Structure 1
Amino acid sequence: MGEWRKARCASALRARRRLERPMKSSLHRTIFYAILLGVVVGVVTTKLMEGWPRATADGGAPAEGKKASREVLHSQAETFRHAANQIAPAVVNITTIEKVRMLVGDPDDLFGFGRFYRNRRVQEGKRIRGIGSGFVFDAANGYVLTNNHVVDGGEEWNVKLADKRELQAKLVGADAQTDLAVLQIQADGLVAATIGDSDRVEVGDWVLAAGNPFGMLEQTVTAGIVSAKGRRGLGLSNYEDFIQTDAAINQGNSGGPLVNLDGHVIAINSAIYSKTGGYQGIGFAIPINQVRKIADKLIRHGEVVRGWMGIEVRELKASEARKLGLPPDRGLVVEGVYLRGPAHRAGIQPDDLLLEVGGKPVHTSSELRDLVADYEPETKLQVKLIRGGKEQVVDVQIGTQPKSWGR
């Protein structure tokens, strides 16, 4: 038993000696590999950090990133500045004045109770009816564009230019159905706005609104984007095709220009939607392409003379379209024909299905109305229709829209 114990001790001693040698060599290798690993990690880390942007002293964003951001902001600011400078000289403030008549007494008879009414007299005066904005669009002839509701009810109109000159204006013409008006001033050195193309405007485009908010903050410019196009059925006017924007528009901005980043006019600021009476991010502007047509008629005729067919229509139902093998949005059903009107004289009948007018497809009643209104009275148009399942073409001579139409 004791031998076995000794033998065990001896073998344990031999094993311990065998183990001591490997432990010493393993420690050396571990130290070597640790040093080597540290060197490798250091080299790799250094190489990686060489490719990283250097941090700023204040621990903020990388210097290169900040510089790039500043350049973008400066570029954007320069673009806004350019657009504002382009339109500013053309923007005007408009004050609409009406004449009033008042019965007044004699100051010396303040407490005499007007015995025998000997000193009573009628005194004429003036008062401001409204204040709005506008812009010069024809410098040679002094034409200024604005809204009808800015000039409506006035007998005199004062226009204040960007250079502070104040001039009396003449009303060339106004159109309540589109809420547009043209004034004319006589002055040298007028600067006209550059007219853009509203058909090229896209939702998301940056725009600037210029004008005279609240009648006292002259030459104010606000920025926003085009929020939507083709807004109709708002009840603001009879002919609606508004551009919606979130650029701040307030009372007094009416009639001012809405411009793109080139400073070109794409619309006229006209109205806002608000539950408070102030700006709430929803403004509406009349597209300049529509404005140009109306302005041209106002300048030539002093009023807008519109074409008229003399029919009432409704849109084609999907079930009706399927029976006829037509797309659901194709065609308008004639519901009524005004006696002795243009359509009646041409032979158009109730229940006819109108497909095209003047070679253009018609889909909605407002589309048909706008299309016909653009034609001069006595213009002859071909109307393609379906009657009794058969397609035919009818010639219609456009009439003049009655003055009370659509009111």
Structure 2
Amino acid sequence: MQTPPKFKPKTYVPVRNKILTTAGIILLSGIVGFGAGYAGSHLSNNANVTIQQQTNKSNSGTIQVADVSDIVEKCKDSVVEITTESVSSGNSIFGQYVSQGAGSGVIISEDGYIVTNNHVVSGATSLKVTTTDGTEYDASIIGTDSQTDLAVIKIEAQNLLAATLGDSDILQVGDPAIAIGNPLGELGGTVTTGIISATDRQITIDNETMTLLQTDAAINPGNSGGGLFNADGNLIGIVNAKESSTGIEGLGFAIPITPAKDVITELMQNGSVTSRPALNVSLYDYTSSNQTQNSKYEDGCYIVQIVKNGAADKAGLKQNDRIIRFDGEKIQSTSDVKAILKKHKIGDNVKMVVDRDSKEIEVEIVLQAQTQAN
């Protein structure tokens, strides 16, 4: 069996815009990145949470945006500060070390469920949540989803102020937007204002293409996971990214809340998104220009790991296969594969053509739910 290529780790470069997830650059103690993903051990399979819904379908509101004090008073207590610690025993001459990070979150139930970004809690070995009255709570991870950059965490508390969810589908360019979060990890409850600059920006972050709201409200490191509210004080988005080019401001992005509702519900109930089809493989985008030595491998999207008894395994796919076509479309990168999967559902039969030892092989895959590797 041919040995898989020894791929050189690739530094991520966003495809369309230079977007950085904000919590990733907030480190309160040392310049140390997060380690491996944290698998929540406190999953709730019976989450019974009532999420308040917006009943007024108007985003225009009746309050002048120049004075947002009444709006902020309505929703500020639903936004929390999140601090994280990540313990690593990796390749450090100092042995085990601890890195710290910060972000924001939005309370979505009176009994302590909080939505934030996956990248805020990814790799965290401990979480602390601080509410606006200064009370600090230990938090546990309920569920995470890297594809939508959403996560749900839980604190043991009652009678919290839950945000009322708005309708991001009816937003229009020019509608007021109010961001509340924890910039720099130490300025919790900071409010910035602006407008909705665009409602459907296609932004690629960490190989995930997302459709995000764009706003010119000031977004800074630490705002990740915080709330974007409309002029009625209803939650319309979860802040997750900003343009990071030198000298560029006023380009912030948020996950629209309406399509996020189903993901949030699944995370609360199952700890993961179980309704999304998957190949149950790990993919790698190989680029020869990133290698220090000449390589016989062609540029493209390679299968580097296969989950036993997963969809790809049952279809006969092998480690080191290069995906050429999927569902009749040419494949150049992992993002192409993910875009096609989004068009399908569990149980669909989809054809794939791979290159294996310089031979094209066609297989038919029955898509399955995501299966964790053993």
Q: Which TM-score tier does this pair reach, normalised by the shorter chain?
A: 0.5 to 0.7
Distance 1:339 1:169 in 2: 37
Offset, 1:99? 3.2
Q: What SS class does the counterpart of residue 133 from structure 1 fall into?
A: strand
Pair 1:295-2:225 in alignment: no
1:325-364 to structure 2, matched below 5 A, reads none
Distance 1:399 1:351 in 2: 16
Change (3 A) 1:217 1:352: closer
Offset, 1:187? 1.1
Change (3 A) 1:144 1:75: closer
TM-score, normalised relative to structure 2: 0.59
Offset, 1:101? 6.4
Offset, 1:400? 1.9
Q: What SS class does the counterpart of residue 138 from structure 1 fall into?
A: coil
Offset, 1:89? 0.8
Residue of structure 1 in register with 2:240 after alignment: 270
More helix per residue: 1
Distance 2:74 2:102 in 1: 23
* Structure 2: tracts of 5 or more residues without a match: 1-61, 280-310, 316-324, 330-335, 350-364
Offset, 1:275? 1.4
Pair 1:241-2:229 in alignment: no
When structure 1 is superposed on structure 2, of 288-297 and 227-236 the one drifting more is 227-236
Pair 1:305-2:274 in alignment: yes
Question: Taking CA–CA contacts closer than 8 Å with sequence separation of 6 or more, which of the two structures ends up with the larger relative contact order?
Answer: 2
Q: What SS class does the counterpart of residue 205 from structure 2 fall into?
A: coil
Change (3 A) 1:130 1:259: same
Distance 2:218 2:141 in 1: 28
Residue of structure 2 in register with 1:84 after alignment: 72
Change (3 A) 1:78 1:188: farther
Change (3 A) 1:339 1:165: closer
CA offset digits 1:156-215 (Å, max 9, x no partner): 100000111000001101111211111000112311000011111111111000001001
Residue of structure 2 in register with 1:53 after alignment: none
Distance 1:227 1:77 in 2: 15
Q: What SS class does the counterpart of residue 76 from structure 1 fall into?
A: coil
Aligned length: 252
- Larger CA Rg, structure 1 vs 2: 1
Offset, 1:76? 1.5
Residue of structure 2 in register with 1:181 after alignment: 151
Change (3 A) 1:237 1:271: farther
Offset, 1:305? 2.2
Q: What SS class does the counterpart of residue 266 from structure 1 fall into?
A: strand
CA offset digits 1:283-342 (Å, max 9, x no partner): 1101112221211111121112243386xxxxxxxxxxxxxxxxxxxxxxxxxx97955x
Q: Specify the code of the residue in structure 1 equivalent to 2:73.
A: N
Pair 1:163-2:133 in alignment: yes
Q: What SS class does the counterpart of residue 342 from structure 2 fall into?
A: helix
* Structure 1: tracts of 5 or more residues without a match: 1-73, 103-121, 311-336, 342-349, 355-363, 382-395
TM-score, normalised relative to structure 1: 0.54
Residue of structure 1 in register with 2:342 after alignment: 370
Paired residue for 1:137, among 69, 85, 108? 108
Q: What SS class does the counterpart of residue 163 from structure 1 fall into?
A: coil
Distance 1:338 1:100 in 2: 32
Change (3 A) 1:85 1:236: farther
- Whether the 8 Å contact between 1:179 and 1:237 is mirrored in structure 2 is no
Q: Specify the code of the residue in structure 2 equivalent to 1:235.
A: I
Q: Specify the code of the residue in structure 2 equivalent to 1:286.
A: I
Distance 1:239 1:289 in 2: 17
Residue of structure 1 in register with 2:202 after alignment: 232
Q: Specify the code of the residue in structure 1 equivalent to 2:236.
A: I
Residue of structure 1 in register with 2:320 after alignment: none
Q: Specify the code of the residue in structure 1 equivalent to 2:107.
A: V
- Whether the 8 Å contact between 1:133 and 1:212 is mirrored in structure 2 is yes
